[in-house]
């Protein structure tokens, strides 16, 4: 009685040359996709196994076996490759005892790794080429992240033409340009509803899923609520590997879990470009709802994340960004605004919004409206130094220029150096919270936030209405 796993060196059916060979791991009675998802989950927890060229296949109908192919390259770079896949198979199912043809030589519990090595030496497998390697997420995307948003001027003119139906329970609707809709139930509890999705801004599907989910959840935090339920929204090219989609969904699910919410399902369609996001529902007490357009004169402004992720990603797409800069941007984008939002509780907050595709100054313009102005301290604006350097080299975004055009005439941005001008208009994907807080309480709130988000800064204050909406101070 032999068990259900075998290790064979065989021709790669997907390779262009019949001479190309790989190590094939075959097994029974296990969900193939489950095994692959588990393995790729280990990658993102610190393992470097098969970050892209991991492939699985199901044999023809007459055979019950499924298989995973590994290239010689990966066996050299990570000798634990087979061990990790073994762990994935063990975790994914309980193994039945079956009569297996003698070619399936090894019991799973007593794998002889030298046997595998000898077969590799004997057959001299080549690094395979490449239908198994997923295509670049960015290769076919014309824009990505919150930089793909329709410009604020275009959007407001479109929404202004929609019929507005009165409902006494709808506290916040699309007429307010707020971060989410708010519906008041009969018991006075507020239901917060938002939706956000976009195309990729990074090539790693798991990280893209994390960022998209963090961005969608952020609207609930900006309104003073707690997310409780999320639904996936997926557009995906039929020609791409479903393993890519599995990674995207895993990244999103991990962030939903971190937020303390639950994933309840979703909807998916085939499309020419990959897009992913969430519809999110949250709750808050009616009196705890925070609007984005109710700032009080004299209140201080706190920004919780540095600016510049859009410019860094533009530089990355031009192969001009330093890896350290890209990592900083990624870490910022996938960080939940939950932690800063939780610190707001107990403080007198008059307004809050999350800074995303419209950039800092256009979101601040929405906050001020026609009633107040904002005074911004140039020296206190937080940003990534690398982003400023890339802006100086004219690595800019189309969305940033749309934001600049929409803002025209509302502030003397020419007082800022060119790079800083670009940073205040730069579309932020999963950007920080812009919080308007009582000036006496602002230092305490900033100190609380900086314990977990050290880049947070007090960037200015709300002032009575001036000729210009945004005033820049040295």
| Residue 136 lies inside a defined structural domain of this protein | no
The reply to whether 49 and 168 lie within a common domain is no
Same domain, 247 and 354: yes
Same domain flag for 282 and 429: yes
Per the annotation, the verdict on 368 as an active-site residue is no
Q: Which residues pair with 8 in a beta bridge?
A: 24
For residue 130, is it within any domain? Answer: no
- Give a yes or no: residue 435 inside a domain: yes
Q: Up-side HSE of residue 316: CA atoms within 13 Å toward CB?
A: 23
pLDDT at 142: 58
Residues 98 and 197 in one domain: no
341 lies in the same domain as 461? yes
Domain boundary among 123, 153, 188: 123
Q: Which value, to the nearest 10 degrees, does the dihedral of the CA atoms of residues 406, 408, 411, 413 take?
A: 100
Q: Same domain for 155 and 119?
A: no
* pLDDT at 310 (0 to 100): 93
| DSSP 8-class letter at 287 | G
Q: Residue 41's pLDDT is what?
A: 52
What pLDDT was estimated at residue 24? 60
Residue with tokens 């021709």: 11
Q: List CB contacts of 191: < 8 A, sequence separation 6 or more.
A: 182, 183, 184, 185, 281, 282, 283
Two tokens at 167?
Answer: 């409902």
Residue 128 in domain? no
What is the spatial distance between Cα 432 and Cα 143, in angstroms, rounded to a whole number?
21
Residues whose CB is less than 8 angstroms from the CB of residue 465 and which lie 6 or more positions away in sequence, other chains included: 370, 371, 372, 373
Structural domain harbouring 461: 145-473
260 domain residue, yes or no: yes
pLDDT of residue 183: 86
Least Cα distance to 9 among 23, 30, 28 occurs for: 23
Number of domains making up the chain: 2
Among 89, 123, 157, give the residue marking a domain's end: 123
Say whether both 150 and 112 belong to one domain. no
DSSP string, 87-100: HHHHHH-PPPPB--
pLDDT in tens, 243-301: 899 999 999 999 999 999 999 999 999 998 999 999 999 999 988 899 888 999 999 99
Q: Domain of 406: which CATH number?
A: 3.90.650.10
What's the confidence (pLDDT) of residue 71?
58
Q: Does 34 reside within a domain?
A: yes
Catalytic residue among 141, 146, 352, 436: 146
Judge if 351 and 228 occupy the same domain.
yes
Q: Order of strands, edge to edge, in the sheet holding 66-70?
A: 5-11, 21-27, 66-70, 55-58
The answer on 52 and 179 residing in a single domain is no
pLDDT tens, N- to C-terminus, the chain (474 residues): 223 333 333 333 333 333 344 566 655 555 555 555 555 555 444 444 333 334 444 444 444 556 666 655 555 556 566 666 666 666 654 433 333 333 332 332 333 333 334 433 443 333 223 334 345 666 666 555 555 556 555 666 666 667 677 777 776 766 666 567 888 887 878 999 999 999 998 989 999 999 999 999 999 999 899 999 999 999 999 888 888 999 999 999 999 999 999 999 999 999 989 999 999 999 999 888 998 889 999 999 999 999 999 999 989 988 899 999 999 999 999 999 999 999 999 999 999 999 998 899 999 999 999 999 999 999 999 999 999 999 998 888 888 888 898 888 898 888 899 999 999 999 999 999 999 999 999 999 999 999 999 999 999 999 999 999 999 998
One domain, residues 243 and 348: yes
Q: What is the pLDDT of residue 248?
A: 94
pLDDT of residue 29: 52
- Whether 114 and 253 map to the same domain: the answer is no
Q: Is residue 176 assigned to a domain?
A: yes
Residue 132: inside a domain, yes or no? Answer: no
Beta bridge partners of 230: 263, 280
pTM of the full predicted structure? 0.69
Q: Which of 123, 154, 175 is the last residue of a domain?
A: 123
- Do 238 and 107 sit in the same domain of this protein? no
């Amino acid at each position: 009685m032999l068990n259900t796993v075998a290790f064979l060196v065989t021709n790669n059916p997907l390779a262009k040359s019949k001479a190309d060979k790989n190590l094939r791991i075959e097994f029974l009675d296990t969900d193939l996709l489950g095994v692959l998802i588990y393995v790729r989950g280990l990658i993102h927890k610190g393992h470097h196994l098969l970050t892209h060229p991991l492939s699985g296949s199901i044999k023809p109908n007459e055979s019950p076996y499924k298989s995973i192919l590994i290239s010689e390259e990966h066996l050299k770079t990570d000798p634990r490759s087979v061990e990790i896949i073994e762990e994935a198979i063990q975790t994914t199912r309980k193994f039945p005892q079956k009569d297996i043809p003698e070619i399936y030589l090894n019991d799973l519990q007593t794998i002889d790794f030298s046997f595998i090595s000898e077969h590799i030496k004997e057959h001299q497998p080549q690094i395979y080429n490449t239908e198994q390697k997923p295509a670049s997420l960015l290769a076919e995307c014309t824009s990505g992240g919150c930089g793909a948003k329709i410009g604020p001027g275009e959007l407001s003119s479109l929404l202004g033409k929609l019929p507005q139906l009165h409902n006494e329970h709808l506290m916040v609707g699309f007429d307010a340009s707020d971060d989410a809709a708010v519906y008041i139930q009969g018991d006075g509890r507020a239901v917060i509803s938002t939706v956000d999705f976009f195309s990729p801004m990074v090539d790693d599907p798991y990280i893209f899923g994390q960022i998209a989910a963090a961005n969608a959840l952020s609207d609930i935090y900006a309104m003073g609520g707690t997310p409780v339920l999320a639904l996936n929204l997926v557009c995906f090219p039929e020609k791409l590997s479903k393993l890519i989609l599995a990674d995207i969904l895993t990244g999103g699910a991990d962030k939903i879990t971190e937020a303390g919410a639950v994933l309840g399902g979703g909807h998916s369609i085939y499309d020419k470009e990959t897009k992913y996001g969430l519809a999110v529902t949250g709750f808050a007490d009616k009196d705890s709802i925070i609007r984005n357009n109710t700032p009080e004169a004299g209140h201080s402004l706190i920004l919780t994340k540095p600016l510049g992720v859009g410019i860094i990603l533009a530089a990355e797409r031009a192969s001009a960004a330093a890896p350290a800069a890209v990592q900083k941007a990624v870490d910022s984008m996938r960080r939940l605004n939950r932690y800063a939002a939780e610190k707001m509780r107990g403080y007198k907050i008059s307004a809050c919004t999350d800074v995303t595709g419209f950039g800092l100054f256009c979101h601040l313009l929405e906050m001020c409206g026609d009633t107040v102005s904002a005074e911004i301290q140039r020296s206190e604006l937080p940003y990534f130094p690398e982003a400023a350097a890339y802006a100086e080299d004219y690595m800019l975004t189309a969305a940033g220029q749309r934001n600049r055009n929409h803002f025209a005439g509302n502030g003397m941005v020419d007082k800022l150096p060119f790079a800083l001008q670009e940073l205040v208009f730069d579309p932020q994907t999963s950007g920080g919270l812009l919080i308007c807080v009582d000036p006496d309480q602002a230092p305490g709130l900033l100190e609380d936030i900086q314990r977990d988000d050290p880049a947070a800064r007090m960037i200015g204050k709300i002032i009575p209405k001036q000729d210009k909406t945004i005033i820049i101070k040295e």
